[in-house]
A and B are shown apart, each in its own frame.
Chain A
Amino acid sequence: MATVTELQNRVDHLEALLRERDRKRVEEQAAALAAQQATDAAKDAEARAMAAAAEREQIRRGAWLSHLLGQSATDAPVDFAAMGQQVPATGWPPGADESNYVFTGGTLPKEPDVANTALGRTLASLTKTI
Chain B
Amino acid sequence: MTKLDSITTATATPVRGDISPSLHPDSILPFGQTLATDDSPLTAAAFTAGRHALKALYETQAAMEQASLATRAKYGSGAVVDGSSIHAALPDDRAAQLAADLGDAFSRVARQFDLHVSNVTETIGTLTASIDRALQPKSRDAVTAQNLSDLRKFIADKPDGQRLDWVHQQIASGDLEVAHAVLGSNPFVSGMTREDQKLMRDLAAKTFALKEHAALTAATQMYEHLQKASQIFVARYKIIAPVVKPSAHAAAIANLKKSA
Contact = CB atoms under 8 A, between A and B. Distances in A.
Interface of A: 111-112, 114, 117-120, 122-123, 126-127, 130
Is chain B's interface secondary structure helix, strand, loop, or mixed overall?
A: helix
B238 A119 contact: no
Interface string B224-238: 000100110111011
B110 A117 contact: yes
A119 B106 contact: yes
12 contacts: A111-B111, A114-B110, A117-B110, A117-B111, A117-B114, A119-B110, A119-B113, A122-B230, A122-B231, A122-B234, A123-B238, A126-B238
Main secondary structure of the interface of A (DSSP, over half): helix
A117 B237 contact: no
Interface of B: 84, 106-107, 109-111, 113-114, 117, 227, 230-231, 233-235, 237-238
Contacts of B227: 118
Contacts of B107: 114
B111 A112 contact: yes
A118 B113 contact: yes
A129 to B, nearest CB: 11
Contacts of A119: 106, 109-110, 113-114, 230, 233-234
- Most A CB contacts (10 A, CB to CB) among B106, B230, B234, B237 go to B234
B106 A114 contact: yes
Given A114-B106, A119-B233, A130 B114 contact: no
